[in-house]
Homo-oligomer: A and B are copies of this chain.
Amino acid sequence: MKYPPVHYHTYLGLDPLLTAQHRKSLEYGKPAHDEMLFIIVHQTYELWFKQILFELDAVLKIFAQNEIAETDMGFACARLERIVSILKLVIGQVDVLETMTPLDFLDFRDMLYPASGFQSFQWRLIETKLGLRTGDRLAYNQAPFFKSLTEEQQKLMLDVLDEPSLFDSLDKWLARTPFLQSKDYNFWDSYKKAVQTMFNDDIETVRGNPRLTEEDKKKNIEGLQNTLKSFDALFDETLFEKLRAEGQFRLSYKAWQAALLIQVYRDQPILQGPFRIIRALLDIDESMTTWRYRHALMAMRMLGQKIGTGGSSGHKYLAEATAKHKVFGDFFNLTTFFIPRSQIPPLPKAIADKMSFHY
């Protein structure tokens, strides 16, 4: 009524969409049945990647702001959780692709050379927009990747690399977190004290344990002291920055503190949103890793392993990229420094009040 009538077929652009499947094997007069599946699987991947980029851009826009309205948190969170949902779906597509057997693949594999999933520009964009830096990419395939891009794509990729990634914006947003330090409260001191108390209590418990031999006591106490020492990376900013320079951490010191605050006090109303944001980012990283891994396994199944040749095979590349291309590894590492909830110091009432609603 208000708008001109719309038809499903034209609205969805089904003409360009459903005529975009061109089997090379057909072109060369040797039609291979499974090439159609191969094309459709990758086309649906790319459509989903477009959707992921669309959601990611919306989130990037929010986090690029110097101040983020609390009313935006639900929206940002929903976008990231949708990305997780999409990634879980596309992982499931591997099951469909694997209904193609290696022998079926051989029917047209040579015709596609050197096309490869590594050339997916959109996947690389997703990685880059999330925060994967050029230097973090597996060196081996880096050069070919840039060379394989069209000029237009190269230009676009460089632009994206120039803009702050989600990691960058997130770091700044975290670093801006209030509550870390105020006149009467210092989160870091309070957490440090709790850590030390916990370990000292543990050491005392060992010392007084009549069931343990002296040797066992000594060993246990050494273990506890070593673990306590590992917290130095947390509380000693100089050491943190040294390890950060070595690549052990990527988040800034302040952002790291804030991430810990959010995790341990996540039930405070004002931290519930940020906690969900961090969780969604962990889910995204983990799902992308799983996606790469499933493809590594599938590549091995499809192509086997060249024996006696030294070349890095596709599946090995993927298996390594799997570990290396994680962006939010810091959130995984953060867990190392959690202490049990019973040991976490309660927030001063004045701070807790500020973190809540008042109506």
Contact = CB atoms under 8 A, between A and B. Distances in A.
Contacts of A229: 308
Interface in A304-318: 304-309
Query: Interface size for chain A: under 10, 10 to 19, 20 to 34, or 35 or more residues?
Result: 35 or more
Contacts of A302: 335
B206 A103 contact: no
Interface centre among A95, A150, A304 (most CB of B within 10 A): A304
A336 to B, nearest CB: 3
B2 A202 contact: yes
B113 A3 contact: yes
Given A43-B17, A230-B309, A96 B85 contact: yes
A303 B333 CA distance: 8
Interface string A334-359: 11111111100000000000111111
Interface stretch (A29-37, A132-140, A163-171, A187-195): A29-37
Interface stretch (A7-15, A154-162, A250-258): A7-15
B78 A99 contact: yes
A47 B122 CA distance: 19
Q: Is the interface of A mostly helix, strand, loop or mixed?
A: helix
B305 A332 contact: yes
Contact of A16 (B20, B24, B300, B333): B20
Contacts of A28: 3
A185 interface: no
A107 interface: yes
Contacts of A290: 293-294, 297
Nearest to A49: B18
A107 B72 CA distance: 18
Contacts of A42: 8, 12
A86 B94 CA distance: 11
Contacts of A46: 12, 14, 17-18
Contacts of A335: 102, 301-304
A13 B22 contact: yes
A13 B9 contact: no
A264 interface: yes
Given A13-B20, A37-B51, A71-B268, 11 more contacts: A1-B202, A2-B202, A9-B119, A9-B121, A14-B43, A44-B44, A82-B96, A103-B264, A110-B340, A301-B332, A354-B358
- Which 4 pairs across A and B sit closest by C-beta, in order of nearness? A304-B336, A13-B20, A304-B335, A8-B119
Interface of A: 1-3, 5-9, 11-14, 16-22, 24, 28, 30, 33, 36-37, 39-40, 42-44, 46-48, 50-51, 54, 58, 70-75, 78, 81-82, 85-86, 88-89, 92-93, 95-96, 99, 101-103, 106-107, 110-117, 119-122, 148, 150, 178-179, 202, 205-206, 209, 220, 226-227, 229-230, 233, 243, 248, 263-264, 266-270, 272-273, 275, 279, 282, 286, 289-290, 293-294, 297, 300-309, 319, 323, 332-342, 354-359
